[in-house]
Amino acid sequence: MPLLLLELILVMKLPRNEQISKSVRLGLLAAAMVALGYPGEVATDNTTRWIFWALAMIPFTWIVVELFVGLKASIATQPENVRGMVSVARWITALSCCFDPVVFVFPMIGFSGGAAVTLVQVGYTIADIVAKAAFGIHVYNIAVRKSENEPSFVSGLAMSAV
């Protein structure tokens, strides 16, 4: 998820200071979410899993709010031919992020043994396909559209990533 957030911010080509602050903030929040979720993921008792799930939901919620509130105003600054695409990219990111907390609770709500392992792996696989393939292609298409209007966009995007 951290890379999805950074890709979204980079393709939006926000002002440099905003790009850096949002990248750092969202990256740290994503790292905190993963760090808080991991102990619950490897825990064998449901109480520990629920505690770490709840703790990981704090940065997760902040990330989702940042995606929809913090980046919503930025959509208006995008070229008209990509505004809708950038909005869709926010939705794809948020929806792919939502798989993780749902999948995480499967073993805690009665699924056990092979069924739990299978559901968790299928859930994470779907999230990965949405997050990496669908989002990656969508962000690429945004960059292509933006480069039609602004040929230096792609080279500027490459420089921003360095």
Mean pLDDT throughout 76-88?
85
Percent of the chain with pLDDT over 70: 90
- CA–CA gap between residue 2 and residue 33 (Å, rounded): 10
Q: How far apart are CA 97 and CA 73, in angstroms?
A: 21
Q: Is 107 helix (H, G, I), strand (E, B) or coil?
A: helix
**Whole-model pTM?**
0.73
Judge whether residue 156 has pLDDT over 70.
Answer: no
Architecture of domain 2-161: Up-down Bundle (1.20)
Domain ranges of the chain: 2-161
- The pLDDT confidence band at residue 59, using thresholds 50, 70 and 90, is very high
Mean pLDDT for the stretch of residues 49-70: 89
Report whether pLDDT(117) > 60.
Answer: yes
Quickly state the pLDDT bin for 56 (edges 50, 70, 90): very high
